[in-house]
Structure 1
Amino acid sequence: MKTFLSLFIFLHATVLFSQTGFVAGVITNENKEPLSGVNISYNHKGVVSDENGAYQIEIIANKQTLVKFSYLGYGTVFKTFKGYKNKTIKYSPILKIQSQEIDEVNIRNYQAAQEGIVKLKAEEFKRIPGANAGIENLLMTQPGVNNSNELSTQYSVRGGSFDENLVYVNGIEIYRPFLIRSGQQEGLSFLNSDMTENINFSAGGFEAKYGDRLSSVLNIHYKKPTKELSTVNLNLLGASYTYENLFLNKKLSTLIGARYRNNQLLVSSKDTKTNFKPVFADIQTYLSYKINNKSSVDFLGNIAMNNYNFTPISRVTKFGGLFQPRELVVFYEGNEQDDFNTYFGALSYKYNFTKNTKLDITGSAFNTQEQEYYDIYGAYSIAEVDPTTGNPLYTSGIGTQLDHARNDLDILIQNVKVSLQHKINQHHFEAGVKFQSENIRDRINEWKAVDNNGLTLRNPNLNTVNNQPFDPFTAPIDLYYKVKAQNDVTINRFSGYFQWNKKWYLGDHILWHHAGIRSQFWNIQNNKTQTTSSFQNTISPRFRLSLKPDWQNTDMVFRLSAGYYHQPPSYKELRDVDGNIQSDVKAQESIHYVFSNEYSFNMWERPFKMTSEVYYKQLNNVNAYSLDNVRVRYDANNNTQAYATGLDVRLSGEFVPGKESWVSFGLLKTEENTNNRGYIARPTDQRFKLAMLFQDYVPSNPNFKVFLNLVLNSSLPGGAPINARADNSTTVDRYNFQTRLRPYRRADLGASYIIVDSNKQYTSGFLSRFKELELGIELFNMFDIQNTTTNTWIYDVDSQRYNSVPNILTGRILNFKIGMQF
């Protein structure tokens, strides 16, 4: 019996420990160059990486294994893995040159935490599904970032407008087209995810070196090539090609990207039937030439051409809910022809006096030429609907509407910026100055004529009195809405900043501080009236304090930020609802108070991070606006006060071994008070947000990957008719339109199969030509939820009320894609 029991235990242990998993990856240095011959030791065993830096080791399942990566001249990396039966864990360490001081490594480890920045590697999230796949699609899963319109890449942060966000590429500020009215007009974002290496994002409390905006900063770093590589991506929505290489004895790095996009598949899933022929294309290049060990020259250029040809045919939309169901039917004639052409170029010279003193001189020019022409006639009817059968019972209103526009815009923005950085021990000083000139030539001619039940509707804010039949009605026939103006404006801006960062030691605790100040002076020259405004200026002090306590077994960073953030008016903010320029508009002001905590811990023996932030923003001199789809129309005054407050929480980590995923949660309340009339919800008052980005793979076949992008946003305010004003003396008062849209709920699912990658190479046959090859399938809006973005407002003469008809977004769509590198 003893012999049998011993034999059983031995066989059981043999089977248990014969279950193994794998760890594989590619080892590179900080320049992303593969390192061959790296020593990899574990469990008294050892292997070395191959000539491509690739390695694979076998470890025991359900047991912790410590792996050591060492290479002469580089720092050693230790990593603990828990093996899983027949599963491969992907891990690609980056070895750093050993001459770096330990103190510098500590700063790097906590740099993002103490700055309050979310840092992401673009390569790790390039397969995330979304109707607008790319960097903005990734941002929508972050707490505090909202956009309830999958056709648009614009976003609001913590209650701000779309115009309150800074975007940089390699330290160069990026601009968007101005006349965009709807998400389906946007086409391509400037940011090319195939060219991107790192993504840095701050939702508030950011440093003084970042420009004059109220809400957030997105800082993108394009990659510098280390070898020749071509990347091609094809799908039913478009295509892209990226080429990277080194020339001139590896002194010139070249990165070129070309993209094409067609939104026809998305737009055809909406409730409006159309003939839609858009052409969205761009070409972008990033060149970097290393003159010597001290200096380099960089060039960033972009040409984008968006042609939007839209011919609506018909629309059928049911609205009103269960208790008062109705149906809108519209038949259209006419079309819309829009062109948005942008040209951008920036040249940057960098010089390192010493390793601690750096100079950067950058000049850039941006030109956008935009045309918005449309004549669209619609004949509509509104019918009461049987709630049980869904069939129309009778028609309660009929009418026609003619929309007309001939809008042209030409903007040229030129600037030059000089910045200097200097380090003395733990002190880091940075200062910069910038001059910018903006020339805007704008022609606006748009109007709307409305007929309802045989009566021509005039602008309701004209307060036309009609006492028929007792008195004759002699008022002239007028348009329901019209704007006609022509502007020629030059804006000159001078700005500068200074900031001081330092790391302190309080015993074994680490303390960082940031103190900075920035200022801007500007004036406005109206070339049409030959008048020039006096200079206005802002002063914006900012402060941040971050603490890393030396707590045993607890890795936390606390951060407190406060500061003044000003937004001097752009051209859009100077133009009022009648199209006229108001040169006396002041800069909007936002006072940020942010307290946050970042807690790093292990769960399921894998790394996780919990980030939580509580914030309050006091908004003064607010330039109130109305929002229709993505079109922002400002009041062009500073008669409003507002606030925004909320809580953002983000849990990220390896829910699946080797793959980062996260869950985001946000609470927000933002309200405004115009002319002391009381607080109402701002257009971006989205009270609740839950988002999840999840990556997984099949354990028995890690080459098969699955991705889930889930967003749940509470309802937004539904907006107001185009004639609405925040004025109780007008008939159409924004304060009387406080209904909300439906909650925004969307789930996008993606799956891909890796045929070729760095760990799965072919030495012969057709597949040997590829460095990477993968096939993918995506299901957008997998539950086919009818989300909405703003309302169409139809006035009914009989009931003398406005009907709010929701504008339905895209339905369920299947997309196929293929990606390759060679």
Structure 2
Amino acid sequence: MSKSAFLFIVLNLIVLGSHAQGMVKVNGTVYNEDHKPLPKVTVSLLGLAGTVLTNEHGQYTIQSRLSSFSLKYNLVGYKVEMVKFNEKKGTELTKDVVLKPDVKELKTVKVTNKQNQLANGTSINVTDISSLPTVSMNFESILKTLPGVSTNNELSSQYSVRGGNFDENLIYVNDIEINRPILIRNGQQEGLSFINPDFVSRARFSAGGFNARYGDKLSSVLDVRYDRPDSNQYILTAGLMGLSATGKTSFKNSHLLFGFRRKDNRNVLGTQDEKGSYRPNFNDLQALYQYDFSSKFSTNVLLNFNSGSFKLIPESRETLFGTLDNPMRLKIDYEGQEIDNYYTYGGALTSIYQPHKNFMVKWINSYFRIVERERFDIDGNYIFEESDYNYGGGGFGPVKKNRGLGSYYNYARNSLTSTIAATEIKVEQYAGKHELTYGARYELSRYVDRMNEYSYIDSAGYILPNNSNSFTFEDAIFSSNKLLINTLSGYFQDSYSLSSKTDFQAGVRVNYNDLSQEVLISPRLLLLYRPNEYKLWRFTAGIYRQAPSYRSIRELDGSLNLDQQSQRSYNVSAGYDYAFTALGTRLKFTSEIYFKYSDRMIPYLVDNVRIKYLADDIAKGHTYGADFTLGGEFVKDLMSYFRVSLLKADQDVIGDSYVKKDANGQNITIYPGYLRRPTDQRVNFSIFFQDRLFRSPTYKVHLNLLFGSKLPIGSPQAATYTDNFRIPAYRRVDIGFSNDFLDPHAVRKPQFLSRYFNSVIAYAEVFNLLNINNTVSYLWLKDVSNVNYAIPNYLTGRQLNFKLIFKLKNK
């Protein structure tokens, strides 16, 4: 061996020896309460990079470079143990630890509670709402990670469930049915939804097969509860996109929830192709007060005022589209502006009488008024250009040829006022093995609608000559409607325990409205079988009816089809849930297959987030698919979910046909038959994953990934049977990073913060991390040959956001 090599080895041994002498070494064994060794216990240095696992004999060895440190002992099913050390460097000591069972955690392995089982719903982990990175700032964003839900617009709180459209979803807050504005055309005009996330104490969602106590719609139910707070809480959230302030106060015989929210997402909207002055302004003020007159009788009032204003002065737009063989560029210069506003006000008064634990009556009276106005007067001068593809640098290169010039003009002065008043009685009663629930509801809906809109395309400015008419009006609507609808409905439902492992639920809804003058009867049943507390089989079947609404009877030209009949769907589903231990944690697998046949439904078009019904037509169709979800605490105290949904939805518009020429030049009639429904999104995949960073209990990462396959779409000037165009797949990755400075496991807590706050959490979020251009709809323009071009309307690009959440201390 050479002298240099020998010297190198000696120096390394000296360095390693001196380093080891500066470390504190801890040996030991981890036992359970029966003094049996526990293998695979995670032993970690709190706040430092150091983690080991106990061996098959429960033994461990770990070293710390600090003299003062803490060790954390963690194993699924046992309470976390923390041990502090303050030793001299170079010390070696032995520390044995006994872990106690976490009874509360062991119970979470059960599939779900009985209430969710009988509702055929998914319980939503409401603590995840604040951590979910989302542009819309609405509670409904969490639904897009759930089985059966489809979406392709991060700006919108609307969603499609198992092939249904946006109008087929029920939303309840404390048993009060919530209605949405109607005139909103795209997600950027949407503001804050009714649900205040800070108020929510529990929520569950059913993607189908819901029971008879819920109303008369076809697709889904979101049931949200605002409950009495456990203690006084005051929460302030402030960020680049808005702010909110929430207070929860509990008194001797009453409690009060009050909150204010404000949203301003102009920074996000500025990432779109359409450049201009965006001035969105959305506000929500909400309060719930409940007074308990006695242990048997209480009354609460829920009040809400929600307003939205969207102003846009567009300046220009440049969109690149086409293919590698035929790359195109669209440039538009704008004049004019768009001003949309709405406000909703109203509330509900609920009285609750419970003379004993087996009987409860609720009397709910509600009144809501929604006033909507949209005004736009926009002139766009556009130019089509063919360009070369820049193979070297990627993207589109210099202009090769001008395809044409033109202009289009959009004008609207529309208003809609909706008034919904209702009174309802709900009864819940237990009688032996029977759980009975029944009730009745009367609703009055009034609509005053004025539509004045049109658009035209002027092709006179084309560079190349065009022999066709240069000036055409399109989508001209001039109408004025007033409508009053009275609806009476009722339901009866019985949940019965056939055995300790089997439950049967049967119910029926009856609905009558003076618009269609039909008596709608909707029987529904549910069968549950639990072989043990970790497995669950369920089967549902039912008939679901949706009565005509003002939106569904309004034709594209603004006229009303007052003879429209209700939509009807026959649904069956079967599901299997399984809770198990794997990957060192508790996991839950849920699955469901379903089939829906509709012998009468109203076909529709989807334009961004607006549903346009073909009110004079009737269709029949099928929907079938499967949902799969795997969820659990892959990281202690942080829930993560993986979801895959598959579906196929088709429809056949009864009596539709068109004429075309055959090979011999003869006219033949074509009957299209079954075609894809506009919401036929075959594959949906989502991940909501949470983890800790830097081996720290306070630094966390929150990843939200969404994928939705292509959707069918066609030109608005063409018949629906030509909808053979496709919106590209929706791909979205949002990521957030957070740190709770006052986390109970934090090594060092800022004293000036801990003096006034229980929690201070900082979030840094990156929306659309991969900067993917997702298409939400198309702008249809014509070239010199009178050929329609579909210019994609892209959604938001990459954007950085910051926010802080402060939770004040009680004094």
Distance 1:306 1:16, change over 3 A: same
Tell me which of 701, 708, 729 is aligned to 2:703: 708
Aligned equivalents of 2:116 and 2:723: distance in 1?
A: 42
397-406 or 105-114: bigger deviation: 105-114
Give 1:330's aligned residue. Answer: 332
Distance 1:648 1:273, change over 3 A: same
Distance 1:394 1:343, change over 3 A: same
Give 1:384's aligned residue. Answer: 386
Give 1:255's aligned residue. Answer: 257
**Match of 1:543, as an amino acid?**
L
Tell me which of 167, 176, 184 is aligned to 1:172: 176
Give 1:788's aligned residue. Answer: 775
Give 1:182's aligned residue. Answer: 186
Aligned equivalents of 1:90 and 1:440: distance in 2?
A: 62
Tell me which of 417, 423, 427 is aligned to 1:410: 417
117-126 or 147-156: bigger deviation: 117-126
Tell me which of 511, 516, 520 is aligned to 2:502: 511
Gaps of 5+ in 2: 1-23, 37-50, 59-74, 85-98, 391-395, 656-671
Tell me which of 337, 341, 344 is aligned to 1:342: 344
Give 2:620's aligned residue. Answer: 641
1:482 is displaced (CA, Å) by 0.2
Aligned equivalents of 1:185 and 1:262: distance in 2?
A: 11
Aligned equivalents of 1:396 and 1:802: distance in 2?
A: 13
Identity of aligned residues (%): 35
**Is the CA contact 2:697–2:745 (under 8 Å) kept in the aligned structure 1?**
no
Give 1:50's aligned residue. Answer: none
1:601 is displaced (CA, Å) by 0.7
**Is the CA contact 1:316–1:329 (under 8 Å) kept in the aligned structure 2?**
yes
Give 1:547's aligned residue. Answer: 529
| 1:259-302 residue CA offsets vs partner (Å, 9 max, x unmatched) | 00012011100111010111100101111111101011111111
1:758 is displaced (CA, Å) by 5.1
Pair 1:631-2:641 in alignment: no
Give 1:274's aligned residue. Answer: 276
Tell me which of 547, 553, 564 is aligned to 1:568: 547
**Is the CA contact 1:719–1:791 (under 8 Å) kept in the aligned structure 2?**
no
Aligned-CA RMSD value = 3.1
**Match of 1:492, as an amino acid?**
N
Pair 1:746-2:753 in alignment: no
Give 2:488's aligned residue. Answer: 494
Tell me which of 544, 552, 569 is aligned to 1:590: 569
Aligned equivalents of 2:552 and 2:205: distance in 1?
A: 25
**Match of 1:549, as an amino acid?**
P
Aligned equivalents of 2:215 and 2:791: distance in 1?
A: 39
Give 2:159's aligned residue. Answer: 155
Aligned equivalents of 2:715 and 2:103: distance in 1?
A: 54
Aligned equivalents of 2:158 and 2:710: distance in 1?
A: 18
Q: How does 1:607-756 map to 2 (within 5 A)?
A: 607-676=586-655, 677-698=672-693, 700-721=695-716, 724=717, 732-756=718-742
403-412 or 113-122: bigger deviation: 113-122
Aligned equivalents of 2:732 and 2:100: distance in 1?
A: 30
Distance 1:514 1:585, change over 3 A: same
**Is the CA contact 1:548–1:558 (under 8 Å) kept in the aligned structure 2?**
yes
**Is the CA contact 2:649–2:680 (under 8 Å) kept in the aligned structure 1?**
yes
Return the TM-score normalized by structure 2: 0.84
Q: How does 1:362-511 map to 2 (within 5 A)?
A: 362-388=364-390, 390-454=397-461, 479-505=473-499, 510-511=501-502
**Is the CA contact 1:240–1:257 (under 8 Å) kept in the aligned structure 2?**
yes
Gaps of 5+ in 1: 1-13, 22-40, 46-58, 67-77, 96-101, 457-466, 525-533, 725-731
Aligned equivalents of 1:332 and 1:92: distance in 2?
A: 64
1:574 is displaced (CA, Å) by 1.2
Tell me which of 233, 244, 247 is aligned to 1:243: 247
1:62 is displaced (CA, Å) by 3.6
Return the TM-score normalized by structure 1: 0.82
Query: Per the alignment, in what secondary structure is the counterpart of residue 306 of structure 2?
Result: strand
**Match of 1:537, as an amino acid?**
V
Aligned equivalents of 2:117 and 2:428: distance in 1?
A: 21
**Match of 2:800, as an amino acid?**
L
1:128 is displaced (CA, Å) by 1.2
Aligned equivalents of 1:741 and 1:106: distance in 2?
A: 41
Give 1:814's aligned residue. Answer: 800
Aligned equivalents of 1:329 and 1:92: distance in 2?
A: 63
**Is the CA contact 2:408–2:457 (under 8 Å) kept in the aligned structure 1?**
yes
Distance 1:136 1:107, change over 3 A: closer
Aligned equivalents of 1:179 and 1:719: distance in 2?
A: 22
1:201 is displaced (CA, Å) by 0.3
1:776 is displaced (CA, Å) by 1.1
Q: How does 1:273-292 map to 2 (within 5 A)?
A: 273-292=275-294
Aligned equivalents of 2:505 and 2:725: distance in 1?
A: 43
Aligned equivalents of 1:755 and 1:575: distance in 2?
A: 54
Aligned equivalents of 2:725 and 2:490: distance in 1?
A: 43
Pair 1:778-2:765 in alignment: yes
| 1:237-260 residue CA offsets vs partner (Å, 9 max, x unmatched) | 10000011123xx21110011000
Give 2:72's aligned residue. Answer: none
Distance 1:444 1:92, change over 3 A: farther
Distance 1:376 1:60, change over 3 A: closer
Distance 1:452 1:740, change over 3 A: same
Give 1:728's aligned residue. Answer: none
**Match of 1:496, as an amino acid?**
G
Query: Per the alignment, in what secondary structure is the counterpart of residue 278 of structure 1?
Result: strand
Give 2:232's aligned residue. Answer: 228
Give 2:213's aligned residue. Answer: 209
